[in-house]
Structure 1
Amino acid sequence: MRFCKITSKSAFWRRFTLCVCVAYLPLASSAEPMHAIAMYGKPALEPGFSHLPYTNPQAPKGGTIRLAETGSFDSLNPWILMGNPVWPIYTQPGMLTESLMTRSIDEPFTLYGLLAESVETDPGRGWVEFTLRPEARFSDGSAVTIEDVMWSYETLGTRGHPRYSAVWDKVEKMEQTGPRSVRFTFNTADRELALLMGMRPILKKAQWQDRDFSQSGLMVPIGSGPYVIDRVDPGRMISFRRNPDYWGRDLPVTQGTGNFDEIRFDYFADASTMFEAFKAGEIDVWRELVAARWDRDFDFPAMREGRIEKSEIAHGRPSGIIGLVMNTRNPLFADWRVRQAMIEAFNYRFINMTLSGGKDPRITSYFSNSELAMQPGPATGRVAELLAPFAGELPPGTLEGYALPKGGERAVDRRGISAALRLLAEAGWKVQDGELRDDRNQPFSFEILLNQSGSAMRTSAETRQIVNIFVESLRNLGIRPRVTLLDPAQYVERTNNYQFDMTWYERGLSLSPGNEQLLYWGANGVTQTGSKNWMGMTSPAAEAMIAEMGRARTYEDYLAAVRALDRILTAGRYVIPVSYSRISRLAHGASLDYPENTPLYGDWPGFMPDIWWQERK
């Protein structure tokens, strides 16, 4: 087995600490054009750097990598809410379309110039200005212009997916300041905005101006990235071909990237079918999400014959949140006591031992596995100060400290069931003739909605097994929920419109949380379709912490605001969390390789297939 290519765990954390310490440095005192911009302090790489530290500039070019997705697709436009899009266009940044700046996944939040040759901002970050590289070109050979940039920003902000509109609403004005430069002035004090404005995909205005951008479809987008769409079999396959005339192939930020001649994505009905295709050699990479399966299920011919290798990639990013989310738009789950009762009834200890042998740790907060995570026990210091004005509206445990129940080794955790019954009784629910009912004699009834193709982090079979164990446990409370399996298109439609009571939920979180948190937890998402606020939470305290994160002038203040937000989310009891892994487990073709110096974020967008290559035979 090939392990993470960081020399040691201590070396990994030394690099992580270095990134954090850099964040403590004071901001530049005057506005001037820069090659890069960091959320705090200075970028790690000075002007004139040769390549990103986790790439191999000598990596060979050529070959094909065959990847896979579950589900289907009916659209090549991932920048709108409508349709079931090809997600690799969106989740593989810089492959087809590019942004003004590109992110280094070896730093918490630093952007380096891509389409833009420089970035400029004032000390207070009330505005930001970008200057385009004169050589920037779309794949059809036409120049990328300021007109394309301005059209892209306005179109995404007004007609694109809701993830773009929240930031666009904070732009006071956008103006062209030179033949190749554009300035954004903000109406909100938020230091992150200067970086976020560098991360929007730039589209070719001439291709879209006579079309309705808000409609999904299979028109092939023209981008400026190193790849173009080569073949499309709607719902089944899409392949990307490396553009030999790519304009940015000599830039420092692109050295050692875009190494494959072809990147192909095949779509499968579910993860089980996809795994069988991997074993048969039809796809080249498999991400294993369960430690027990990693140890148990990889004794097949291709592995024994050395055609497949196993690699473990360490990372320093937060766990995010994974588990069953409760929709508080349904009055049934509006009471925190009911949500805590569901958490008590979910015997995580037994489920974890049954499914993964107990090897992976449980998610104990939204930012587990990082220093952003809330600290055990009562809130203290700056965290307590930030939460104090909202003390009267916060659920129990936010200020005092909150911890998940331990669960039991047997299928029925009597302690958890007893605790759940007490909480439900306090909330007005009692077992009558074997069924949980309220004082109006209405049964406690709800639906658990599942995607039959599974999710990014769990196979369909695994989520069903988790839910089946949970459902059996709920019978001890007099609750018999309905479990509904939907195809991916129906599932996306219902979750986009919050038409569920409980469902599987996964949200990856970075080391630089900011404005995107409003899309995840903001009150607008209660009614605005397509947000990630699936739990339907409305929390002035949470929104205040997110605003505080944007205003923070020092890393210490920023850290306190994130930890305070973590307390609000965790003690809100919106999600029944499961486990996460401190490593990524990738099984892959033996001819595939990646650099020795693994980035801080590990296996994250920008890592695979971006910096991998195929060894020449």
Structure 2
Amino acid sequence: MSPDILRPIRPLIAGIAASVVATLAQAESTHGIAMYGDPALPPDFVSLPYANPDAPKGGKVVFGNTGGYNSLNPFVQKGTAPWQLRFWTHEGLMGRSWDEPFTLYGLLAESIDTAPDRSWVEFTLRENARFSDGSPVTVDDVIWSYETLGTQGHLRYRGLWSKIDSIQQTGPRSVRIIFNEPDRELALIAGLRPILKKAQWEGKDFAEAALQDVPIGTGPYVIDDYEAGRFVNLKRNPDYWGNDVPFRRGTMNFDEMRLEFYGDQTVLFEAFKAGALSAVREFNADKWATQYDFPAVQRGDVIKTEIPHKKPSGMTGLVMNTRKAPFDDWRVREALTLAFNFEFINGTITGGAQPRITSYFSGSELAMQPGPAKGRVAEMLQPYAADLPPGTLEGYVLPEGDDSVRNRKDIRKAADLLEQAGWTIQDGVLKNAAGEPLKITLVISQGSLNVVQNVDAIAEMYARALERLGIELTVDKVDDAQYTQRVSELDFDMTPFRRALSLSPGNEQRLYWGSEGADASGTRNLMGVTSPAVDGLIDAMLASESREDFVAATRALDRVLTAGRYVIPIWSFDVGRIAHVKEMKHPQILPIYGDGPQFMPDVWWYDE
């Protein structure tokens, strides 16, 4: 009988086998994935809860954008593309439900597997997944898309690639991604990456795509016609592969959607009143109340619809570039915030109807709580105590002005802070010790890229207030292309700012205010935050295994950002306001995130 040469290592083999079996048992394939807990919808769900699976297909709708465009590729850094395209023409392996904080369900992928610690994720493609030209979606397309977007794509896609250790095919329709750092959110982020067709770009430079190089996608719509800077026409693909996928039932119901481009918001609104557009979103409560009484509304041909939500306020306002003096001094930033008389400006522009943003996550359970930091939040902040902005631990509240033009109380406080920072009035002008005047340039766009409506009127009132401090505010109004270049190159003192935030903030927080890449061209960290506390608290959010720790880390981050005085906040959008033709209908069940591109037009339909 031959000697048993395997006897010495049999226990090791058995241990490895048991480990593999245990891993496979724990990493069962599933129809969806939630950031915390289990998906709310069962494997056999019919449609998303806020979609009408019986919605009719048909109709044509026209929407308006301001400014222009010089690209139809929304996945690269170069050029300006209509922002709607990436929502209508392309898809990821998974799709997000907007009725849960952060949950994904299968779209191009029929199932998702993850390790218990989410150190890897594996997707299995649907056998019938197709691009709009009818060709099948392959694992090769998926791997190419991740690598190309991660290395040549828009900055929003590059962060994930740096966190991927390997990506490889594991079966005829399956692909596994292994991550190089512990981060429970990465599996979900990976599921949302758009998938493009590899063969289309063979022999072409993806990052330098020309206008006519329209990326082929898998989405319900394809670009049917366009004229640069004037319009883009999209038609629903009659051979769309995903009509029967539960995530898609009752969505993308319009036969045709057209984007018309206008010089500014005033011209766009007049076009809507004249019947040239099917719907507009209104962000000014006073305008909503006073200017939407034109004949079409009175006849009932145009309907005013309000959509409530439960999401955080996010941050909207004027951001300061802290890479430059004197904005690198918190006292100057506080003084500039004091000079911004929100109560007077809000009363003038919105009739006082819209409440002010009080922190980045205000209006949600993730918002910092009033008063001093307590409990788990205080524990998380303590390691950074020596470097925290004043007010972080003690509690910070935005200055409250009055409804007068002069706002004397806050102007006096601002002058005192500026003097502490080395700025004094000399010959009626605020100057530093070197005799240099404090001049501020506010860079704004003439077109669609202004994320703050009525910014012209806001700037005019703010400039008058700064004059009383001896500060000169100059508004530099440029076209969209120049604006994109200026902001990308960080060539501004102040500029309009908007960051929408979710009930499940994650890796995007690093893009918005992480130190890494803060000074890089094209960064989304416009204020230039470089804070160990911010970086550490984002890490704590991403590593949290319980909802309690996650909420505490987010509240702590909210304190650091708000007390940093990086943005002068304006009003929050506490309800979505959509004016639309009467033929446009929507489901009665609303998602917790309220309105957004994934609600209108995604789940609306046309009913004559």
Q: Taking structure 2 as the reference length, what is the TM-score of the superposition?
A: 0.95
Does residue 255 of structure 2 align to residue 255 of structure 1?
no
Q: Which residue of 2 aligns with 1:297?
A: 291
* Whole-Å separation in 2 of the counterparts to 1:432 and 1:85: 47
Q: Which residue of 2 aligns with 1:592?
A: 584
Q: After superposition, what is the alpha-carbon deviation per residue over 1:39-85, rounded to whole angstroms, capped at 9, x for unaligned?
A: 00000001011111000111111010111111110001111111111
Q: Which residue of 2 aligns with 1:5?
A: none
* Cα drift, residue 529 of structure 1: 1.6
* Whole-Å separation in 1 of the counterparts to 2:319 and 2:25: 45
Q: For residue 436 of structure 1, what is the amino acid of its counterpart?
A: L
Q: For residue 146 of structure 1, what is the amino acid of its counterpart?
A: V
Q: Is the 8 A contact 1:289 1:458 kept in 2?
A: no
* Cα drift, residue 592 of structure 1: 0.6
* Whole-Å separation in 2 of the counterparts to 1:217 and 1:320: 34
Does residue 197 of structure 2 align to residue 201 of structure 1?
no
Q: Which residue of 2 aligns with 1:119?
A: 112
Say which of 229, 239, 261 aligns to 1:235. 229
Q: For residue 203 of structure 1, what is the amino acid of its counterpart?
A: L
Q: Is the 8 A contact 1:163 1:531 kept in 2?
A: no
Say which of 570, 590, 598 aligns to 1:578. 570
Q: Is the 8 A contact 1:454 1:463 kept in 2?
A: no
Does residue 339 of structure 2 align to residue 341 of structure 1?
no
* Cα drift, residue 468 of structure 1: 0.5
1:112-151 map, 5 Å? 112-151=105-144
Q: After superposition, what is the alpha-carbon deviation per residue over 1:451-476, rounded to whole angstroms, capped at 9, x for unaligned?
A: 112556543xx111011000000011
Q: Which residue of 1 aligns with 2:149?
A: 156
Does residue 36 of structure 2 align to residue 40 of structure 1?
yes
Q: Which residue of 2 aligns with 1:388?
A: 382
The alignment of Structure 1 onto Structure 2 pairs a total of residues equal to 584
Q: Which runs of 4+ in 1 moved over 6 A?
A: none
Q: For residue 56 of structure 1, what is the amino acid of its counterpart?
A: N
Does residue 416 of structure 2 align to residue 419 of structure 1?
no
* Whole-Å separation in 2 of the counterparts to 1:209 and 1:378: 58
Q: Which residue of 1 aligns with 2:350?
A: 356
Does residue 385 of structure 2 align to residue 378 of structure 1?
no
* Whole-Å separation in 1 of the counterparts to 2:46 and 2:166: 35
Secondary structure of the residue that 1:553 maps to in structure 2?
coil
Q: After superposition, what is the alpha-carbon deviation per residue over 1:553-608, rounded to whole angstroms, capped at 9, x for unaligned?
A: 00000011111111111000000000012111111001110000011111023101
1:163-562 map, 5 Å? 163-218=156-211, 219-453=213-447, 455=449, 457-459=451-453, 462-562=454-554
Q: Which residue of 2 aligns with 1:14?
A: none
* Cα drift, residue 525 of structure 1: 3.3
Q: Is the 8 A contact 2:321 2:492 kept in 1?
A: yes
Secondary structure of the residue that 2:517 maps to in structure 1?
helix
* Whole-Å separation in 1 of the counterparts to 2:589 and 2:31: 23
Q: For residue 335 of structure 1, what is the amino acid of its counterpart?
A: D
Q: Which residue of 1 aligns with 2:604?
A: 612
Secondary structure of the residue that 2:123 maps to in structure 1?
strand
Q: Is the 8 A contact 2:444 2:450 kept in 1?
A: no
Q: Which residue of 2 aligns with 1:87?
A: 83
Q: Which residue of 2 aligns with 1:69?
A: 65
* Whole-Å separation in 2 of the counterparts to 1:184 and 1:128: 5
* Whole-Å separation in 1 of the counterparts to 2:448 and 2:207: 28
Q: 1:171 to 1:545 in 2, by over 3 A?
A: same
Secondary structure of the residue that 2:333 maps to in structure 1?
helix
* Cα drift, residue 526 of structure 1: 2.3
Q: For residue 79 of structure 2, what is the amino acid of its counterpart?
A: G
* Whole-Å separation in 1 of the counterparts to 2:289 and 2:390: 40
* Cα drift, residue 86 of structure 1: 2.0
Q: Is the 8 A contact 2:452 2:496 kept in 1?
A: no
Does residue 96 of structure 2 align to residue 103 of structure 1?
yes
Secondary structure of the residue that 1:333 maps to in structure 2?
coil
* Cα drift, residue 223 of structure 1: 0.9
Secondary structure of the residue that 1:526 maps to in structure 2?
coil
Secondary structure of the residue that 1:504 maps to in structure 2?
strand
Q: 1:156 to 1:508 in 2, by over 3 A?
A: same
* Whole-Å separation in 2 of the counterparts to 1:482 and 1:228: 43
Q: After superposition, what is the alpha-carbon deviation per residue over 1:172-219, rounded to whole angstroms, capped at 9, x for unaligned?
A: 111111111111111111000010000000000000121101114221
Q: For residue 352 of structure 2, what is the amino acid of its counterpart?
A: G
* Whole-Å separation in 2 of the counterparts to 1:114 and 1:368: 32
Q: Which residue of 1 aligns with 2:74?
A: 78
Q: Please, what is the CA RMSD of the aligned residues?
A: 1.1
* Cα drift, residue 540 of structure 1: 1.2
* Whole-Å separation in 2 of the counterparts to 1:153 and 1:424: 49
Q: Is the 8 A contact 2:120 2:176 kept in 1?
A: yes
* Whole-Å separation in 2 of the counterparts to 1:524 and 1:210: 33
- For structure 2, list consecutive stretches of 5 or more residues without a partner in the other structure: 1-23
Q: 1:59 to 1:378 in 2, by over 3 A?
A: same
Q: Is the 8 A contact 1:525 1:536 kept in 2?
A: no
* Cα drift, residue 138 of structure 1: 0.7
* Whole-Å separation in 2 of the counterparts to 1:516 and 1:208: 28
Secondary structure of the residue that 1:331 maps to in structure 2?
coil
Secondary structure of the residue that 1:503 maps to in structure 2?
strand
* Whole-Å separation in 1 of the counterparts to 2:475 and 2:25: 58
* Whole-Å separation in 2 of the counterparts to 1:305 and 1:605: 28
* Whole-Å separation in 2 of the counterparts to 1:456 and 1:448: 12
Higher radius of gyration, 1 or 2: 2
Q: After superposition, what is the alpha-carbon deviation per residue over 1:463-498, rounded to whole angstroms, capped at 9, x for unaligned?
A: 110110000000110011211111111111111111
Q: Is the 8 A contact 1:29 1:123 kept in 2?
A: no
Secondary structure of the residue that 1:239 maps to in structure 2?
strand
* Whole-Å separation in 2 of the counterparts to 1:353 and 1:445: 27
Percentage of identical aligned residues: 54
